[in-house]
Amino acid sequence: MRFLYPRVRVRVNGLEMALTAILFPGQGSQSRDMRDPVARVRPDLLSLVQELVGEDPFPRAEEGTNFAQPAIFCASLAGWTAIERRAPRAERAVGDLMAGHSLGEFGALVAAGCLSERDGLRLVVLRGRLMQEAGERAGDGGMLALLGAGAAGHADALAEAHGLAVANDNSPQQIVLSGSRAALPAAAAAAEELGLRSMQLPVTGAFHSPMMEGAVPEFAAALDQVELREPRVAVLSAVTAQPFDDVRLRLAEGLTRPVRWRETMLELHRRGAERFVEVGPGRVLTGLAKRTLKDVELVSA
């Protein structure tokens, strides 16, 4: 599917100005050394996450989403703190636009001043636990990555044919399907007949699919208890690929609805972003941006 958007640019004193978009990664971006910057730059955050999780989540980040999510969130905030400390004091905000991939939305909302760090971390810890438990209750959920030219064009048909959901529309060449683990081999075989490569992901559940519905009520109730403020800059929701309208609703929907990352990147570019800065561990979002956008500057902070 091809997206056609009119370009929107910001004018300052009659001159068009390119904007900077700050991107926060989601699960799958964890790295072995991501604890180090948290301990160095944000030891207070490391102490808080250990208190909320009940142990240090970093050594167990590969074991489940209940550990991976709080660890990646803290590493992303440590990266954001480092960027802010390097920025000139006169700058009110380092970025002009922000977005996060699934879990990364919480980092983006914190960085934009919409959500406090403590509330953000509490929500992330709860989200990780609820998603882990929902996956364990379902028992047979899994995810399948489809890779190669034309992946985006075949995703909907493959999902429908095999009773799966499109969980992540990451780039024109990378789509993730989610649902019953028993359905994944047939979907993989069908994808390979179309010339695509496939890879079953090492996850504990069918994330971003109806199989996560059991996690929604408790998470929505927790969202109702947090204070939200007007963000300093526009933060795009990966559920709608538009600026957040109802933050609580969109974050709750993010448990069961697809991550529309390809559309989110295109919308950031349409709004004038020509410099994309990935904050936090890994380089996943930088790689996806290369496959989606042309002639933009990509920075991994």
Catalytic residues, by residue number, are: 102, 208
Asked if residues 103 and 26 have their Cβ atoms less than 8 Å apart, the reply is: yes
DSSP per-residue letters across the chain: ---------EEETTEEE-EEEEEE--TT---TTTHHHHHHH-HHHHHHHHHHHSS-SGGGTTT-HHHHHHHHHHHHHHHHHHHHHHS-TT-S-S-SEEEESTTHHHHHHHHTTSS-HHHHHHHHHHHHHHHHHHHHHH-SEEEEEEESTTHHHHHHHHHHHTT-EEEEEEETTEEEEEEEGGGHHHHHHHHHHTT-EEEE---SS-TTSGGGGGGHHHHHHHHHTS-----SSEEEETTTTEE-SSHHHHHHHTTTS-B-HHHHHHHHHHTTEEEEEE-SSSSHHHHHHHHH-SS-EEEE-
In angstroms, rounded to a whole number, what is the distance separating the alpha carbons of residues 150 and 154?
Answer: 6
Asked if residues 157 and 193 have their Cβ atoms less than 8 Å apart, the reply is: no
How many CB atoms sit inside 10 A of residue 293's CB?
18
In the structure encoding, which two tokens stand for residue 7, read together? 């370009």
In angstroms, rounded to a whole number, what is the distance separating the alpha carbons of residues 23 and 180?
Answer: 30
Asked if residues 205 and 136 have their Cβ atoms less than 8 Å apart, the reply is: yes
